[in-house]
Amino acid sequence: MQKYNFSAGPSVLPKPVIEQIKSELSSYNGTGYSIMELSHRGKDYIKVHNQTKQLIRELLFVPESFEILFLQGGATGQFSAVPLNLLSKFCRAGYVDSGQWAKKSNQRIYDLL
């Protein structure tokens, strides 16, 4: 029986996608390497990266005036990324504590600055 994951984060992939992943896992596009082993600076990965950005633009109608970033990290890291990159010990910023994630992010910012 097929199981379906409706949790936050990972989600259901169509069977054909799973089959393609299986067939390319040990050698992506005939490179002899898994996609996970390719250099993020290599031409094979850069092609995948640029195609993915273009598909996101088309799917979500993202204009060329916006940059699409692929960032790692969970909700805590993503939620605090902007203030952590824009603030220093010598800057002040207003912060709205709107609930659990805001409180957690706010505490992380204080811990790191």
Does residue 41 sit within a domain?
Answer: no
Does residue 106 sit within a domain?
Answer: yes
Most distant CA pair in the chain, distance: 58
Does residue 80 sit within a domain?
Answer: yes
Residue 2 pLDDT level (bands cut at 50, 70, 90): confident
Distance from C-alpha of 93 to C-alpha of 38, rounded to nearest angstrom: 40
Q: At what angle do helices 100-112 and 75-86 cross, to 10 degrees?
A: 50
What pLDDT, on a 0 to 100 scale, did the predictor assign at position 9? 67
Do the Cβ atoms of 68 and 58 come closer than 8 Å?
A: no
Does residue 82 sit within a domain?
Answer: yes
Distance from C-alpha of 45 to C-alpha of 51, rounded to nearest angstrom: 10
Does residue 99 sit within a domain?
Answer: yes
What pLDDT, on a 0 to 100 scale, did the predictor assign at position 93? 67
Burial class of residue 97 (count of CB atoms within 10 Å of its CB; 0-12, 13-18, 19+): exposed
Token pair 């040990």: residue? 26
Domain of residue 97, residue span: 75-112
Number of domains within the chain: 1
Distance from C-alpha of 54 to C-alpha of 69, rounded to nearest angstrom: 12
Q: Model-level pTM greater than 0.95? A: no
Instruction: Please give the DSSP secondary-structure letter assigned to residue 37.
Output: G
pLDDT tens-digit readout, 58-113: 999 999 999 898 877 776 677 677 777 777 777 776 667 788 777 776 776 667 66
Does residue 19 sit within a domain?
Answer: no
At residue 51, does pLDDT exceed 70? yes
pLDDT tens-digit readout, 35-46: 888 898 999 999
Does residue 10 sit within a domain?
Answer: no
Tokens at 45, concatenated: 């990965």
Does residue 8 sit within a domain?
Answer: no
